[in-house]
Amino acid sequence: MPGYTPPPNACDAHCHIWGPTARFPFAENRPFTPPDRGKEDLAALYARLGLTRSVIVQAIVHGTDNRAMLDAIASSNGRYRGIALIDDSFDDKALQALHEGGIRGVRFGFVKHLKARPDLGFFRRTVDRIAPLGWHAQIHLDAADLIELRDELDALRIPFVIDHMGRVDAAGGPDQPAFRALLEQVRRENCWVKLSGSDRVSATGAPFHDALPFARALIAAAPDRVVWGTDFPHSNPRHAVEDDAALLDLLPLMAEESGLQRLLVDNPARLYGF
């Protein structure tokens, strides 16, 4: 059990659903094959951690078939939202149906090891298409991409969210060029960042305390544009997460009570429309 008790309406702003594959099969060209982790597993986690709201990010193993995520959102009594994966086959009617199903953004995966890096033409077209819906672009990238894709990020006019503290390596310290680039982005009024993935950022492993200086710096730079997530069920982890309670217990080491209220409740309510 966690030592930290989150405030009412606390939100896990980054998690995934895998299957169940008997009902929601994985994509044939998936980069890996995880075990089933359905909405019941997510609900059990939240009951134990004291979390109420959730933002489910479409799992790459399901590709652009968003049905498992939409099913979980539909059963949540308004407590869940989602971030979709789409391609050019999604017309305006399909996007509207996703919006009505609780989707509030599209994820773009630039990380090289997943081998699904989007064409920049598709990226720009999609950003233009989702703007009228009030959606945001969720950007999953490697730390080096914060520099390589700087011009693309600078050109964004809709809200965008950078995953997992930019996947920087804590071994490089907060003064590394990639993290300086992330701080430059997050000071912009339309840039948000997820303080998820302490286990991905950490160079030393559990209890992941070497990720804390990065989280604190991001909170200081943009206290109203940071959100937090578990990243459950933890695909391709850098370090094993034996218990998500350990990630929850990092929170009071990141910010004081008022900062945690914004991080866990107020900010996600604004971004995702709770």
The residues assigned a catalytic role are 231
Query: Which among 186, 83, 182, 162 has a CA at the least distance from the CA of 130?
Result: 83
Question: Cα angle at 272 between 264 and 195, to 5 degrees?
Answer: 40
Rounded-to-5 percentages of helix, strand, coil across the chain: 45, 15, 45
Q: Lay out the sheet containing 136-140: strands in order across.
A: 11-15, 53-57, 80-84, 103-109, 136-140, 160-162, 191-194, 226-227
Token reading at 131: 């703007």
User: Distance from CA of residue 155 to its chain's centroid?
Assistant: 21
Query: Which among 102, 54, 118, 107 has a CA at the least distance from the CA of 85?
Result: 107
| Residue type, position 113, single letter | H
| C-alpha to C-alpha distances, 69 to 20, 149, 178, nearest whole angstrom | 11, 29, 32
Q: How far apart are the C-alpha atoms of 227 and 249, rounded to whole Å?
A: 15
Query: Which among 65, 34, 47, 68 has a CA at the least distance from the CA of 233?
Result: 34
